[in-house]
Amino acid sequence: MAGRLAVVGAGLMGSGIAQVAAQAGWQVTLRDLDDAATARGVDGIRRSLEKFAEKGKIEASEVEATLGRITPTTDLEAAADADIVVEAVFERLEIKHEVFRALDKICKADAVLATNTSAIPVTQIAAVTERPESVVGTHFFSPVPMMKLCELVRGYKTSDATLATVRAFAEEIGKTVVVVNRDIAGFVTTRLIAALVVEAVKLVESGVISAEDLDTACKLGFGHAMGPLATTDLTGVDVLLHAAKNIYTDTADEKFFPPELLQRMVTAGDLGRKTGKGFYTY
Residue-wise DSSP of 21-40 = HHHTT-EEEEE-SSHHHHHH
Nearest to 16 by CA among 172, 116, 115, 143: 143
Average pLDDT over residues 95-100: 98
- 222 lies in a domain? yes
Report the C-alpha gap between 282 and 272 in whole angstroms.
8
* Distance from the first to the final alpha carbon of the chain: 42
Rounded distance between C-alpha atoms, residue 233 and residue 251, angstroms: 25
**Does 55 belong to an annotated binding site?**
yes
CATH number at residue 138: 3.40.50.720
Tell me if 185 sits within 8 A of 17, measured CB to CB: no
pLDDT of residue 230: 97
Which pLDDT score is estimated for 120? 87
Which pTM was predicted? 0.90
Indicate whether 116 and 167 sit together in one domain: yes
* Residue 56, strand partner residues: none
Q: Consult the annotation and say whether 48 binds a ligand.
A: yes
| Domain termination site, one of 151, 180, 209 | 180
Q: What average pLDDT does the segment 1-6 reach?
A: 91
Instruction: Please indicate if the annotation marks 219 as binding a ligand.
Output: no
DSSP state of 155: -
**Within its chain, how far is the Cα of 206 from the centroid?**
31
Where in the sequence is the domain holding 50, given as residue range(s)?
4-180
pLDDT score for 280? 98
Mean pLDDT of the chain, nearest integer: 96
Would you say residue 182 has pLDDT above 90?
yes
Q: Which residues of 223-262 are buried (b: 16+ CB within 10 A; e: fewer)?
A: eeeebbbbbbbebbbbbbbbbbbbbbebeeeeebebbeeb
122 and 246 in a single domain? The answer is no
Q: Is residue 200 one of the residues assigned to a domain?
A: yes
Residue 242 lies in a domain: yes
